[in-house]
Amino acid sequence: MKDTYLKKILETTRISVSERKKISPLSKLESRSVDVESTRGFKNSLIKSVEKNNIAVIAEMKKASPSLGLIRKEYEPEELAQHYAKANAACLSVLTDEPFFQGSIEHLTSVRKSVDLPLLRKDFIIDEYQVYESRFQGADCILLIAAALTQNQLKDYYQLAIELKLDVLVEVHTYDEVEKALSINANLIGINNRNLKTFEVDLETTKHLTQYIPQEVLVVSESGIKTREDVQKICSYGVSIFLVGEAFMKADNPGSELKNIFFN
């Protein structure tokens, strides 16, 4: 992904958020967010899975991506969620970006009704509106991408999420972004092995960056994990939590593929 492409995604997201604000103002979401049901404990579910299985998988539902286009034609979020739950996923990641990933915020709501697993809202969050929206629509955790936010934005949205009882996965790609995440006391950091500038994937990114993250912080390895050998490699770096989507989405049976890669 080129810098200009990331810029385009963020610009498109700003326009989309602006339109949603007109339909359902922030004040309305703030009042609604008070009455929603309790969150399910995303981070705690990861910890429990690691304690039980020595590994934890955040299984992702992703219909398409900017680099690959359509990944899965037969895309039924509720059905996929149930397959993942039966295959021992600790948590689920639901793509809600529509223009670039063909996701939907409604997918989050419907998946929440179909399984008991904690849910990550996977999107480009660039406005406090989306934090309230995530809570109201059924997320248990949100993704904050360090590369997409200023230091102040990252801090403010992180604090707001915590106030709303949401867990936060802060995504990093470079040493500077790790520093950015640690400065706000992030306790769940995702290392994306995909370079946002070149879109190339290098699992060594996890090896390189995890050494700068304190042991008490949970680390998630994201992107490029496709085989048991990849899993073993990441585990050798001292990381035992994985976020995987593409490898599952390309398989005939995503749940079986999860088991094959992680639990067989």
Residues with active-site annotation: 60, 62, 122, 171, 192, 222-223
> What radius of gyration do the chain's Cα atoms show?
17
The residue to which tokens 């904050």 are assigned: 144
Q: Select from 221, 233, 240, 235 the least CA-distant residue to 172.
A: 221
Which uninterrupted H or E stretch holds 242?
strand 241-244
- The answer to whether 225 and 247 are in contact (CB under 8 A) is yes
Q: What is the DSSP letter of 201?
A: B
What secondary structure does DSSP assign to 27-39, as a single string?
Answer: HHHHHHHTSSPPP
- The answer to whether 220 and 58 are in contact (CB under 8 A) is yes
Backbone angles phi, psi at 252, to 5 degrees: -60, -40
State whether residue 173 is helix, strand or coil. coil
| Tokens found for residue 19 | 């339109």
- The answer to whether 20 and 203 are in contact (CB under 8 A) is no
Q: Name the β-bridge partners of 142.
A: 121, 168
| Cα–Cα distance for residue pair 38/77, rounded to 1 Å | 22
State whether residue 167 is helix, strand or coil. strand
Q: Select from 261, 253, 240 the least CA-distant residue to 82.
A: 253
